[in-house]
Chains A and B, each alone.
Chain A
């Protein structure tokens, strides 16, 4: 561990190294150097390090060593590498052909997984500028390489704002689920994974949907449209509802939604069971509910409707008629 003293000693040692190799170091200089070493053990230790460094050069024939080290240094230097590794963009090879494989290319590669727990929401910005918003209980794999940008939605829901490719090379952007592939032909869309189907909503430009087992059923979905699809076919088309992604801003926004459906949505952000008594299931609810505090949302229900919240346990809550 470096203490203040040993840091100072290292600096002094480096300075002595320069002074003594200058070609005009005098007897007095050498004397002073020896005295400096004797002053404290940190000094002698520091000088040992200098010797360890210079010792590494001993066995190398000068011209050859110089040439080899310079050839390799010709590429961009790797101090940038540490910076790049900090974000999850990785520097990639120009191609499997090898060569100077660590050279920085203009497009960054990412190979990563991201997930959220129940009630957790997350925003991720990837190296190409793509914004990914992950909703509750979501799991994705990201795989960007030199040829394409891929996201696999394993479960849950994402809102995607694709980043613009900065460089001449355009890589396609594809999101896959169990049910098929959604290729972005533009910028802003969301995909939600259900057990039997996936739901795509397009907010800007367009996407192409290809069901997994039936490529001929492919369809281009445009701005303002939503489509549910499964492995074999398109299922139901509807109008895009911007409120459906209000979660990305921290809210559950509904307009005349049946209470049972509302509670099913709210339950996605909570651990445990949230039941709705059939007698009140069809009550219609509208409003904007902060997802950061779903207990408050439930409590608010009692102000709007003639209902009661029955908390059997923390993890078993029923909404029943008052």
Chain B
């Protein structure tokens, strides 16, 4: 083990010890759950350590850590709300139509991915895109539903598709 490597380890340990206590406390106050807060604190450090080779270059660690943690927390809540919404919909189905646990997990994952992919897209383009891709409505039917012209719908769909393609590219 090179001495540089050892120094890295020490710096990381020191950083974690200095900041984990307050970060965990802050997250727990916000989320209300001990375990989720610990997970999110952990993920925050992972993300920061992956991005920052040199912890010394972080000028304002508290501000930086809370910004990263906040982003992860928003995702966390978003996921949870999607799951609740999905389960609420399932609850209204007759017993026989409820999919297996494995299927439910797959669908939930897909929903989360789609929601993330559409993030930042303006509401009408999002709506038009979902009506097209999920419900399979034609351009004309969507135009009627949203009370706009067909050419507007075409623009929304192109914009939505471009947006999703860009997101895919960033993620890749």
A317 CB within 8 Å of chain B? no
Instruction: Give complex CA distance A15, B119 in Å.
Output: 21
B8 CB within 8 Å of chain A? no
Whether the pair A82, B67 counts as a contact (CB closer than 8 A) is no
Residues of B within 8 A of A28 (CB): none
Instruction: Give complex CA distance A22, B150 in Å.
Output: 10
Whether the pair B165, A50 counts as a contact (CB closer than 8 A) is yes
Instruction: Give complex CA distance A278, B151 in Å.
Output: 87
Whether the pair B136, A11 counts as a contact (CB closer than 8 A) is no
Instruction: Give complex CA distance A258, B74 in Å.
Output: 57
Partner among B73, B89, B120 whose Cβ is within 8 Å of the Cβ of A68? B89
Given contacts A18-B157, A100-B81, contact A62 B135 (CB under 8 A): yes
* Stretch with Cβ within 8 A of B (4 or more), from A72-80, A166-174, A245-253: A72-80
Residues of B within 8 A of A141 (CB): 62
CB-CB contacts below 8 Å: A12-70 with B: 13-15, 17-18, 21-23, 46, 49-50, 52-54, 56-57, 59-70
Give the interface size bracket for A toward B: 35 or more
Residues of A within 8 A of B32 (CB): 96-98
Residues of A within 8 A of B29 (CB): 96
Whether the pair A72, B117 counts as a contact (CB closer than 8 A) is no
Whether the pair A57, B114 counts as a contact (CB closer than 8 A) is yes
30 contacts between A and B (CB under 8 A): A2-B169, A13-B165, A14-B165, A18-B157, A18-B158, A21-B139, A21-B157, A22-B139, A23-B140, A53-B164, A53-B168, A57-B110, A57-B114, A57-B134, A62-B134, A62-B136, A65-B111, A66-B134, A67-B85, A69-B111, A69-B114, A69-B118, A72-B115, A78-B119, A85-B71, A92-B30, A102-B77, A111-B62, A112-B63, A114-B60
